[in-house]
């Protein structure tokens, strides 16, 4: 037989299909093989098996070895990889890699076997008699194993010494066997076995989703309306039909609650896939899914590639979350991939959120998606009351700390009552916007209405969507004040000030610095939920999906910072953040309170978020997007060109820019913006970075861009095509 193989090398130049010969007819598509490539041997994926070779000239080389007993990749994976490659400008090898855990490709992880000792003596009394008088340990070990029947060999060695155990083995009183074991993640998490009766709203949502003919349903349910229970009910039904399910959450390590629920409900039928697992755990969980032993895959975005067959349902929880867009190579959009898989399997997709993304809600309103709504919280619990505090007044009063008088008073009350509080602040690495702390003024781009970003080396303000440059301001043009602030406040500073204010309070901090280790999040959250601390201070990480019953106060320290990120979605992100954060407060019996500190108390986005008025927010936002020409009315396409050699990189930029510019000249009116420039971060990891940035309303223009970029190949220079990226850095 002849096979088409994609060689597993990540270089644009070799992203081609190679033919090999295989002696025998039992080789299948989806298997991994080792093949000769140049003067070396490489791993590859068989994507097609055929009787005749397409290639006629010269010698066809032979497959060196086959790697899988059952093909690692299913037919669906092969097809999906093809589409992903075309849709997201990803090489075929990179697209195929998405379906396999890294450790499997490198062959660094193997199945794990454990040795067991088995009682094997024919007659216990005779065996005991045959042992020497002074062999007390052997006697004890034999007695133990007779009772236990079997035990881990390691455990037996530890208890009675390996000398005694070996002696018993040699006499034939103990037999040793090897068995494969699965390494399981999160074994420390208990199962939560509760059965609940669905509320009327939940039941209606389930029925609505079962009935619809549409592929995708948007489940729009306020925080605490019980969306999880709807997902679990739907998953149960799908399993009962003999199908499988995928449940995606933004960050599995942040939602141990979800794992507890699933284990309680489905026990070992669910497998967890995400990057925080050890290589061994990931390997075993992956094979449990591939072999059909586990039928529910739970995880962050990469779990959308779970090796399941006959998928009946894909749930995307918190669908608005930015993490569903992969921003590093290979770039892909999880929602799009989920829809491909659903179409292939005839499955349904349910995307859920209290604050849907503008794009998704628009599709639901236009009838492309089915819409299911849940407007009530479980047990009619009230949404917490939100108080807006004007920080300009605090500044005028001479309060230069990060805490307003109102927040200090509330914190004191919480501590006195022995309850818990969460303090939340926004922080996003490098982007620095400027705000006047006297009047709340923020400089914006005149053309784009997006906040400007301060660039230190040029001492200038710049717009990341059109490259316009503005002079840095020393004084506020609105009120003349010189009290300007750059960027956000740090978590460390908050903790220090807090400790001074409340010396006896115990405080936990959660941000990128404190959660480097593998289960760092879990540890901090675990301590907090066990009430080992009074106050948790953190960044947007803590906004996601936790359920802390004794939290009665949430303080949002810089409620408007996210409004001023240099991003056309800053309003949307702010609304989402505030709603999610506020949803953390008062989830159990106690009424919760939220304090929102801001320099712009009159801001409409904040007002609507405080009222939990998503629909009005949506109407306002979509009108703004239409007027300013941002997605979903246009697409932002960025071609990022980067490489270590500056001259070569510029050459590639030119090679891409010229044909693109010709396209632009042909239909200028289809563009809100077209230009080429250095990227906002000009150098990263020793690579020079340039970009061609476009904002266009021409449908499917991105495919034209990809076609143009695919034609330019220079060793050592990389080209990315990004569509509506989460950030332009």
Chain residues binding ligand ADP by CB under 6 A are 196-199, 202, 221, 223-229, 378, 547
φ/ψ (deg, to 5) at 163: -60, -50
CB 271 within 8 A of CB 288: yes
Distance in Å, CB of 198 to ligand ADP, minimum? 5
Cis ω before 144 (30° cut-off from 0): no
The residue among 44 and 352 lying less far from ligand ADP, judged by its C-beta, is 352
Q: Which does 436 bind (CB under 5 to 8 A by kind): ligand ADP, Zn ion, none?
A: Zn ion
- Expressed in angstroms, the distance from the first to the final Cα of the chain is 49
Judged by CB under 5 A, the chain residues 405 through 444 that form the site for Zn ion are 436, 438-439, 441
Query: Cα(434)–Cα(428) distance, rounded to whole angstroms?
Result: 14
Numbers of helices and strands, H then E, in the chain: 22, 30
Distance in Å, CB of 422 to ligand ADP, minimum? 16
* 460 near Zn ion, rule: CB under 5 A: no
Q: Which does 472 bind (CB under 5 to 8 A by kind): ligand ADP, Zn ion, none?
A: none
φ/ψ (deg, to 5) at 112: -105, 135
The residue among 228 and 244 lying less far from ligand ADP, judged by its C-beta, is 228
For residue 174, the tally of other CB atoms under 10 A from its CB is 24
The residue among 312 and 440 lying less far from Zn ion, judged by its C-beta, is 440
Q: In 658-705, at which residue ranges do the beta strands (DSSP E only) sit?
A: 671-684, 687-696
Distance in Å, CB of 315 to ligand ADP, minimum? 11
CB 507 within 8 A of CB 555: no
Distance in Å, CB of 545 to ligand ADP, minimum? 7
Considering only residues 165, 232, 435, 466, which one is a binding residue for Zn ion as defined by CB under 5 A? 466
3-state SS, one letter per residue, for 566-628: CCCCHHHHHHHHHHHHHCCCCCCCCCCEEEEEECCCCCHHHHHHHCCCHHHHHHHHHHHHHHH
CB 639 within 8 A of CB 705: yes
Distance in Å, CB of 318 to ligand ADP, minimum? 8
Distance in Å, CB of 272 to ligand ADP, minimum? 19
Q: Which does 466 bind (CB under 5 to 8 A by kind): Zn ion, ligand ADP, none?
A: Zn ion
Q: Which does 174 bind (CB under 5 to 8 A by kind): ligand ADP, Zn ion, none?
A: none
Give the binding range for Zn ion (CB under 5 A) out of 480-488, 500-508, 587-595, 680-688: 480-488
The residue among 254 and 395 lying less far from Zn ion, judged by its C-beta, is 395
Distance in Å, CB of 680 to Zn ion, minimum? 13
Distance in Å, CB of 348 to ligand ADP, minimum? 19
Distance in Å, CB of 324 to ligand ADP, minimum? 17
* 463 near Zn ion, rule: CB under 5 A: yes
* 447 near Zn ion, rule: CB under 5 A: yes
Distance in Å, CB of 200 to ligand ADP, minimum? 10
Give the binding range for Zn ion (CB under 5 A) out of 238-246, 454-462, 477-485, 648-656: 477-485
φ/ψ (deg, to 5) at 546: -85, 165
Q: Which does 276 bind (CB under 5 to 8 A by kind): ligand ADP, Zn ion, none?
A: none
CA atoms within 13 A on the CB side of 364: 23
Q: Which alpha helices (H) appear in 419-530, and where do they start and end? A: 491-501, 520-529
Integer CA distances (angstroms), 408 to 399, 497, 555, in order: 12, 11, 10
* Residue closest to 229 by CA, chosen among 191, 250, 203, 207: 203
The three-class DSSP label of residue 295 is: coil
The residue among 226 and 487 lying less far from ligand ADP, judged by its C-beta, is 226
Query: Cα(306)–Cα(274) distance, rounded to whole angstroms?
Result: 10
* 717 near Zn ion, rule: CB under 5 A: no
The residue among 199 and 585 lying less far from ligand ADP, judged by its C-beta, is 199
Q: Which does 447 bind (CB under 5 to 8 A by kind): Zn ion, ligand ADP, none?
A: Zn ion
The residue among 479 and 588 lying less far from ligand ADP, judged by its C-beta, is 588
Distance in Å, CB of 282 to ligand ADP, minimum? 27
The residue among 193 and 478 lying less far from Zn ion, judged by its C-beta, is 478
The burial of 729, by beta-carbon neighbours within 10 Å (0-12 exposed, 13-18 middle, 19 or more buried), is given as: middle
Distance in Å, CB of 542 to ligand ADP, minimum? 15
Report the DSSP beta bridge partners of residue 333.
325
* Cα-to-chain-centroid distance, residue 428: 17
Pairs from 587-592 (Cβ < 8 Å, separation ≥ 24): 587/224, 587/381, 587/547, 587/548, 587/549, 587/551, 588/549, 588/550, 589/549, 590/419, 590/550, 590/552, 591/382, 591/384, 591/385, 591/552, 592/384, 592/385, 592/551, 592/552, 592/553, 592/554
Query: Cα(104)–Cα(65) distance, rounded to whole angstroms?
Result: 16
Sheet order of strands, 385-390 included: 385-390, 593-598, 551-556, 420-424, 535-538, 507-510
Q: Which does 630 bind (CB under 5 to 8 A by kind): ligand ADP, Zn ion, none?
A: none
Residues whose CB is less than 8 angstroms from the CB of residue 105 and which lie 6 or more positions away in sequence, other chains included: 8, 32, 43, 97
Distance in Å, CB of 266 to ligand ADP, minimum? 16
Query: Cα(288)–Cα(269) distance, rounded to whole angstroms?
Result: 9
Residues whose CB is less than 8 angstroms from the CB of residue 84 and which lie 6 or more positions away in sequence, other chains included: 90, 95, 98, 330, 332, 337, 340
Q: Which does 550 bind (CB under 5 to 8 A by kind): ligand ADP, Zn ion, none?
A: none
Query: Cα(478)–Cα(439) distance, rounded to whole angstroms?
Result: 8
Distance in Å, CB of 223 to ligand ADP, minimum? 4
Number of residues that bind Zn ion (CB under 5 A): 15
Distance in Å, CB of 569 to Zn ion, minimum? 15
Q: Which does 135 bind (CB under 5 to 8 A by kind): Zn ion, ligand ADP, none?
A: none
CB 587 within 8 A of CB 378: no
Query: Cα(623)–Cα(79) distance, rounded to whole angstroms?
Result: 39
φ/ψ (deg, to 5) at 40: -120, 180
The burial of 244, by beta-carbon neighbours within 10 Å (0-12 exposed, 13-18 middle, 19 or more buried), is given as: buried
Give the binding range for Zn ion (CB under 5 A) out of 100-108, 385-393, 466-474, 607-615: 466-474
Q: Which does 600 bind (CB under 5 to 8 A by kind): Zn ion, ligand ADP, none?
A: none
The residue among 32 and 546 lying less far from ligand ADP, judged by its C-beta, is 546
Q: Which does 448 bind (CB under 5 to 8 A by kind): Zn ion, ligand ADP, none?
A: Zn ion
Q: Which does 467 bind (CB under 5 to 8 A by kind): ligand ADP, Zn ion, none?
A: none
The residue among 205 and 522 lying less far from ligand ADP, judged by its C-beta, is 205
CA atoms within 13 A on the CB side of 494: 29
Considering only residues 14, 310, 323, 481, which one is a binding residue for Zn ion as defined by CB under 5 A? 481
Distance in Å, CB of 146 to ligand ADP, minimum? 47
The residue among 33 and 522 lying less far from ligand ADP, judged by its C-beta, is 522
Q: Which does 199 bind (CB under 5 to 8 A by kind): ligand ADP, Zn ion, none?
A: ligand ADP
The residue among 154 and 375 lying less far from ligand ADP, judged by its C-beta, is 375
Q: Which does 141 bind (CB under 5 to 8 A by kind): Zn ion, ligand ADP, none?
A: none
Q: For residue 63, what is the DSSP state? A: P
Q: Which does 196 bind (CB under 5 to 8 A by kind): ligand ADP, Zn ion, none?
A: ligand ADP
Distance in Å, CB of 344 to ligand ADP, minimum? 28
Give the binding range for Zn ion (CB under 5 A) out of 475-483, 578-586, 601-609, 680-688: 475-483
Considering only residues 65, 86, 479, 623, which one is a binding residue for Zn ion as defined by CB under 5 A? 479
Query: Cα(457)–Cα(684) distance, rounded to whole angstroms?
Result: 16
Binding site for Zn ion (CB under 5 A): 436, 438-439, 441, 445, 447-448, 463, 465-466, 468, 476, 478-479, 481
């Amino acid at each position: 037989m002849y096979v088409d193989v994609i060689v597993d090398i990540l270089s644009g130049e070799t992203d081609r299909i190679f033919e090999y010969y295989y002696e025998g007819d039992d080789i299948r598509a989806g298997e991994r093989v080792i093949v000769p490539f140049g003067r070396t041997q490489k791993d590859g994926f068989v994507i097609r098996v055929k009787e005749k070779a397409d290639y006629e000239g010269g010698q066809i080389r032979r497959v060196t070895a086959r790697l899988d007993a059952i093909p690692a990749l299913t037919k669906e994976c092969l097809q999906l990889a093809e589409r992903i490659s075309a849709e997201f400008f990803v090489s075929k090898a990179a697209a195929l890699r998405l379906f396999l855990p890294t450790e499997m490709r490198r062959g660094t992880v193997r199945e794990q076997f454990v040795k067991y000792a088995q009682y094997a003596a024919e007659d216990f009394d005779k065996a005991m008699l045959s042992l020497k008088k002074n062999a007390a340990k052997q006697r004890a070990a034999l007695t133990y194993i007779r009772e236990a029947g079997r035990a881990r060999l390691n455990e037996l060695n530890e208890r009675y010494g390996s000398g005694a155990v070996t002696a018993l083995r040699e006499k034939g009183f103990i037999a040793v066997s090897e068995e494969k074991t699965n390494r399981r993640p999160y074994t420390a998490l208990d199962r939560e076995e509760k059965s609940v009766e669905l509320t009327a709203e939940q039941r209606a949502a389930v029925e609505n989703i079962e009935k619809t003919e549409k592929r995708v349903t948007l489940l729009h349910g306020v925080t605490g309306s019980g969306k999880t229970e709807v997902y679990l009910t739907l998953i149960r039904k799908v399993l009962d039909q003999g199908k499988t399910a995928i449940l995606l959450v933004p960050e599995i390590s942040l939602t141990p609650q979800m794992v507890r629920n699933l284990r309680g409900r489905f026990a070992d039928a669910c497998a967890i896939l995400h990057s925080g697992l050890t290589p061994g755990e990931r390997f075993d969980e992956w094979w449990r899914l591939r072999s059909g032993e586990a039928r529910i895959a739970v995880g962050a975005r990469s779990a959308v590639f779970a090796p399941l067959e006959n998928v009946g349902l894909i749930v995307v929880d918190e669908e608005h979350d930015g993490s569903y867009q992969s921003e590093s190579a290979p770039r892909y959009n999880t929602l799009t991939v989920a829809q491909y898989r659903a179409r292939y399997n005839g499955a349904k997709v349910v995307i859920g959120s209290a604050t849907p993304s503008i794009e998704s809600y628009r599709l639901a309103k236009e009838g492309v998606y089915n819409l299911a709504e849940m407007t009530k919280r479980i047990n009619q619990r009230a949404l917490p009351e939100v108080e807006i505090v004007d920080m300009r007044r605090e500044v005028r009063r001479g309060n230069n700390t990060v805490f307003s008088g109102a927040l200090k008073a509330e914190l004191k009350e919480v501590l006195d009552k022995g309850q818990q509080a969460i303090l939340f602040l926004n922080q996003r690495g490098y982007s620095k916007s400027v705000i006047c702390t006297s009047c709340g003024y923020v400089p914006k781009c005149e053309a784009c209405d997006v906040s400007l970003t301060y660039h230190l080396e040029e001492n200038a303000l710049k717009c990341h969507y059109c490259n316009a440059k503005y002079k840095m301001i020393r004084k506020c043009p609105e009120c003349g004040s010189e009290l300007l602030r750059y960027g956000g406040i740090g978590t460390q500073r908050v903790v220090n000030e807090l400790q001074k204010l409340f010396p006896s309070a115990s405080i936990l901090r959660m941000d990128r610095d404190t959660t480097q280790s593998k289960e760092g999040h879990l540890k901090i959250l675990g301590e907090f939920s066990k009430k080992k601390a009074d106050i948790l201070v953190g960044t947007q990480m803590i906004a996601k999906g936790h359920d802390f019953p004794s939290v009665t106060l949430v303080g949002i320290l810089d409620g408007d910072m996210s409004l001023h990120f240099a991003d056309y979605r800053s309003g949307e992100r702010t609304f989402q953040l505030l709603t999610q954060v506020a949803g953390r407060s008062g989830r159990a019996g106690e009424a919760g309170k939220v304090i929102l500190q801001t320099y712009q108390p009159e801001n409409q986005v904040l007002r609507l978020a405080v009222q939990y008025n998503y629909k009005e927010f949506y109407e306002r936002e979509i009108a703004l997007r239409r007027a300013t020409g941002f997605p979903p009315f246009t697409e932002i396409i960025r071609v990022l060109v980067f490489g270590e050699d500056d001259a070569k990189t510029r050459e590639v930029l030119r090679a891409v820019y010229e044909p693109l510019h010709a396209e632009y000249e042909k239909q200028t009116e289809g563009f809100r913006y077209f230009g080429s420039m250095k990227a906002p971060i000009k150098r990263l990891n020793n690579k020079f970075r340039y970009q061609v940035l476009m904002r266009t309303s021409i449908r499917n223009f991105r495919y034209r861009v990809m076609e143009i970029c695919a034609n330019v190949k220079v060793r050592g220079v990389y080209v990315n095509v990004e569509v509506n990226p989460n950030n332009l850095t």
